[in-house]
C-alpha cells in the first residue's frame, strides 16, 4: 500500500451529493480498472453535504484503502465547488474528475490519460452516445455546447462531461465560481494549453436521481456571459461599457436633432413627439454606462494591484529568473 507522502501519478476527483448505493460499486470499478492499468493513484471523493448514507459509505471504503481520500463539506455548495475542493487537494501529475453516479465509466480513465500524454494540457470526454432524457437533457446540452464552442472558440462536442483529464499545472491556478465547471476548457485556453477530445462511454443513472432541473439552462447562459466578458475584456472593462455608452449617447444626439428639425421645419411641437424623452433617456443611460466602465476600471486595478497579480502568464524564461 503506497504511503501518504508519495505523490501519486493520477488523482481521480469525484463530487458526491446523495449518491448512496453508488459509492461502493464505483470504488470497485475504479480499483479494477486502476489495478489493471498499474499506475499509482489517489481517489478524492468530495462529499458535497449529502443528506443520505453517502458519508457512511465513504467512511467504509476510506477505512480499507488509504488511496481513498474524503473531503466532507459542511453543506451543499454545488458540483463546481465540490470539484474545486478536489482539485485543490489533488497531488497527482494528472487529474481526472468524474461523476459519482456511475454514468461515467472508469474504464475510460486510462484512455484519457494516454491521450493526454501525447502532449495535451487537457483531454475532454465526449459522451457520444449519451444515455439521458433527449428533450430535457441532450437537446439543451447540444445547444449549450454549440453556444460555448462558438463564443469561446474552443470547439468541443461535450463541454458538460465531467470526465476529462488535465495536466495538474493547468488547473493549479483555476478559480471556478457558480456552475462554471463546464467552462474549464475556456480557462485552459486562456492558460495557453492545447485541448483535444475523445469519445467516452456513458451509462444511464440506475441508483438515485439527477440533481439538476431545466433551470440549469439559465445558469449556463449567465455563466457564459460572465466568462465571455472576462475573456474579451478582463483587463479593459471600459471598452465594453464605454462602447455601449457612446452608442447610447449618439442615439441621444440623433433623437435631439431630429426633434429640433421637426420642430423648426415641420412645426411638430416637442410635446407631440416622444423624441425628447428618447433623447433624455438614452443620454442618461449612456452616461451611466461610461461611469460604470470607469468604476470597473478601478476594480480591475484593485484586483491586480492589491494582490500583485500579473496580467499575463509566463511559460518559461531564458537567461533570466522568472519574477514569480
Place of cell 480499483: 31
Nearer to Mg ion by Cβ, of 131 and 301: the residue is 131
For ligand UDP, which residue of 17, 41, 87, 166 counts as binding (CB under 6 A)? 17
Nearer to ligand UDP by Cβ, of 76 and 168: the residue is 76
Instruction: Kindly state whether residue 99 participates in binding ligand UDP, applying the rule CB under 6 A.
Output: yes
For ligand UDP, which residue of 10, 11, 15, 84 counts as binding (CB under 6 A)? 15
For ligand UDP, which residue of 8, 26, 27, 101 counts as binding (CB under 6 A)? 101
Nearer to Mg ion by Cβ, of 145 and 252: the residue is 145
Instruction: Kindly state whether residue 212 participates in binding ligand UDP, applying the rule CB under 6 A.
Output: yes
Q: Give CA–CA dist 264/54, Å, rounded.
A: 77
For ligand UDP, which residue of 19, 57, 158, 179 counts as binding (CB under 6 A)? 19
Nearer to Mg ion by Cβ, of 101 and 223: the residue is 101
> Least distance from C-beta 300 to Mg ion, angstroms?
38
Instruction: Kindly state whether residue 103 participates in binding Mg ion, applying the rule CB under 5 A.
Output: yes
Residues that bind ligand UDP (CB under 6 A): 15-17, 19, 48, 76, 78-79, 82, 99-101, 103, 210-212
Amino acid at each position: 500500500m503506497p504511503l501518504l507522502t508519495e505523490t501519486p501519478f493520477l488523482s481521480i476527483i469525484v463530487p458526491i451529493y446523495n449518491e448512496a448505493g453508488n459509492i461502493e460499486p464505483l470504488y470497485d470499478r475504479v480499483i479494477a480498472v486502476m489495478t489493471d492499468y498499474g499506475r499509482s493513484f489517489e481517489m478524492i471523493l468530495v462529499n458535497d453535504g449529502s443528506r443520505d448514507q453517502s458519508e457512511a459509505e465513504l467512511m467504509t471504503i476510506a477505512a480499507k484503502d488509504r488511496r481513498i481520500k474524503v473531503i466532507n463539506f459542511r453543506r451543499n455548495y454545488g458540483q463546481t465547488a465540490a470539484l474545486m475542493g478536489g482539485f485543490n487537494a489533488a497531488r497527482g501529475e494528472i487529474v481526472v474528475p468524474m461523476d459519482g453516479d456511475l454514468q461515467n465509466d472508469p474504464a475510460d480513465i486510462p484512455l484519457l490519460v494516454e491521450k493526454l500524454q501525447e502532449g495535451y494540457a487537457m483531454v475532454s470526454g465526449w459522451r457520444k452516445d449519451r444515455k439521458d432524457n433527449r428533450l430535457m437533457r441532450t437537446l439543451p446540452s447540444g445547444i449549450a455546447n454549440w453556444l460555448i464552442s462558438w463564443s469561446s472558440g474552443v470547439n468541443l462536442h461535450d463541454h458538460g462531461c465531467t470526465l476529462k483529464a488535465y495536466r495538474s499545472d493547468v488547473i493549479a491556478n483555476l478559480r471556478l465560481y457558480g456552475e462554471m465547471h463546464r467552462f474549464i476548457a475556456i480557462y485552459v485556453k486562456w492558460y495557453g494549453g492545447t485541448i483535444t477530445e475523445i469519445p467516452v462511454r456513458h451509462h444511464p443513472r440506475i441508483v438515485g436521481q439527477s440533481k439538476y432541473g431545466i433551470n440549469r439552462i439559465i445558469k449556463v447562459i449567465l455563466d457564459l456571459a460572465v466568462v465571455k466578458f472576462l475573456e474579451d475584456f478582463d483587463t479593459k472593462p471600459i471598452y465594453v461599457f464605454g462602447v455601449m455608452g457612446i452608442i447610447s449617447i449618439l442615439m441621444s444626439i440623433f433623437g435631439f436633432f431630429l426633434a429640433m428639425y421637426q420642430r423648426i421645419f415641420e412645426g411638430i411641437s416637442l410635446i407631440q413627439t416622444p423624441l425628447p424623452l428618447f433623447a433624455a433617456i438614452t443620454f442618461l443611460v449612456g452616461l451611466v454606462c461610461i461611469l460604470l466602465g470607469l468604476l470597473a476600471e478601478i476594480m480591475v486595478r484593485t484586483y491586480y494591484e492589491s494582490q500583485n497579480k500579473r496580467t499575463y502568464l509566463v511559460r518559461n524564461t531564458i537567461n533570466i529568473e522568472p519574477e514569480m
